[in-house]
Chains A and B, each alone.
Chain A
């Protein structure tokens, strides 16, 4: 038996041994037999329960932290700014609003023969007066023919057609929706409008204003166009201010 033969054999045998060991370790699932008695089991159970309570404690602290962070976030300036922005948007009339209020409908009058008298047009000045009166008596949000009336809304006569912010008011009936602060205000407004003279003035234009009983949920759409601000600019900070 020469020397190199033995070396090769040894190397090969050790490789085989290595492979066998690896295979053995991989395949042999350690068979764990439960040989604990009641006392040991009890101890183990105690340990697990302690772990559980620790975990619960951890969960509680983390949840506390979460609520704390959420509170902080809510109270942060960013949230405040967002809320203010939303509030301002609502006030400016860019958002859809629902609330208690009344609905006025402009309808054509019917003559003695039972025929509808064709309307000439809705007079812009009359409409403005009506809106002014509504505003005076507690209207907060207004829409005319599903067009939101905001502070910069224009009602004017363009080529014999009355337009409100570019929307033509040439098709009857025209609904004027009004939202008030609460149901009582709506009731008050309704009563005031019943005795209002403006309503009668619409007769000149062959129009009849039908007042509907106050409702709980009136939906008024938001202003659709963008509001262009032409004559306003932010104040320079440090000039006359405390910034």
Chain B
């Protein structure tokens, strides 16, 4: 369970050390992509806790969601509609739901462990 967290930390460190910057006009897309990736990650954690985890679904969902979110934002920019808000909304809601489910599962696990 600690390995993914380590990966996250390593990724952040690499990113900070390499000092990569993207043009400011693309930061919108990246933020959406991050949101999508986080959503997939928490979805994956939840699925693991519910024992319905499938790595194909996880990996494909990860990349597909990122691309979808970015292209949605791109389309929104070109249509003049803030379509990225739709992605933000959808991913935000799912993120909260996933985290809530994870919290409940962990809570039940903890209480059952305590009762034991």
- B-binding residues in A (CB < 8 A): 1, 4-6, 8-27
Contact = CB atoms under 8 A, between A and B. Distances in A.
Given A5-B53, A13-B5, A23 B11 contact: no
A24 B15 CA distance: 9
B30 A19 contact: yes
Interface residues on B, range: 35 or more
Contacts, number: 102
Q: Is the interface of B mostly helix, strand, loop or mixed?
A: helix
Contact of B12 (A5, A10, A18, A27): A18
B95 to A, nearest CB: 13
Interface of B: 1, 3-16, 19-22, 24, 27, 30-31, 33-34, 37-38, 40-41, 44, 48, 53, 55, 58-59, 62
Given A9-B3, A9-B44, A12-B59, A21 B30 contact: no
B4 A21 contact: no
B27 A19 contact: no
B4 A15 contact: no
Contacts of A17: 7-15
Contacts of B1: 1
Contacts of B15: 17-22, 24-25
Contacts of B44: 9, 12
